[in-house]
Amino acid sequence: MSSLIKAADLAAALDSSSPPLVLDVTWQLGGPPGIEAYRVAHIPGAHFVDLAAELSGPHTPGGAGGRHPMPEPAAFGASMRRLGIGPETDVVVYDGGPSVAAARAWWLLRYFGHDRVRVLDGGFAAWTAERHPVTDVVPEPAAPGAFVPRPGGMTRLDADETAALVAAGGVLLDARAAERFRGETEPIDAKAGHIPGAVSAPATEYTHADGRFHEPAELKEYFAARGAVHGARVAAYCGSGATAAHEVLALSLAGVPAALYAGSWSDWITDPERPVATGE
């Protein structure tokens, strides 16, 4: 199963006898709560998922795990069962923009053992651009699913494992904006810069202006230019792990399996002994 689905294909699937379960993961860093946009308009039948509350664990400012810590298996499992997910459930996730929040949901479901999940390419913007129907009607709660979290479906790294990957010649991609990578600005976290040995690969460079991913051949070329090829040890990180999940998704579309440093930069800098690099 492809990890992406086009808006037209989702519309057709929703009209079929076996429609997928659709999850709206609208979220914006520093913006209004996603539930507000969901209440105004969403894909008919979509259930809302809160990134901070359901796709992240409790956050302790300055604590290990980063700004969006991994959720505990029991808590994540309970949220997915509430949404109606079971072993045979086909899931489509989307958000309002370039699919960063949706990719977080995609990665977590796969990490916890559910691979029947796809991301709507281009998100809600692509859906509305093609004039598919929207609604403000909140669907009835889904019948509880039988989802059982089984960690390990995707490769997850901690800070020490990330440092070891770089030391061993692996490729560590930084999905943040290039100016944050260089340490010229840092609007969110307490320190500016990047993990030594990392390579800048901003998420905006492998997606179109409308948020859709480039074609697989283009993605393969883009990542190969940064040393990320099939057979290499590749990992991605960002500020808090969400955009890095988006990069792992892009890498998978290019045919390059990659690990995720889930805590990312906001976790790395909690230990003052960890080195920080700036510049190119």
Helix or strand holding residue 235 (H, E): strand 234-237
**Side chain identity at residue 185, one-letter code:** T
CB atoms within 10 A of CB 10: 23
**What span, in angstroms and rounded, lies between the C-alpha atoms of 83 and 176?**
31
Give whole-number Cα distances, 137 to 37, 148, 210, in Å: 12, 29, 26
Take residue 163 and report the two structure tokens written for it.
């440092």
Take residue 88 and report the two structure tokens written for it.
């045979």
| Cα dihedral 164, 167, 172, 176 sign | positive
**Side chain identity at residue 64, one-letter code:** A
Take residue 182 and report the two structure tokens written for it.
């260089």
**What span, in angstroms and rounded, lies between the C-alpha atoms of 180 and 195?**
11
Q: Is 36 a catalytic residue?
A: no
* Catalytic hit among 101, 172, 238, 260: 238
Query: Which positions are annotated as active-site residues?
Result: 238
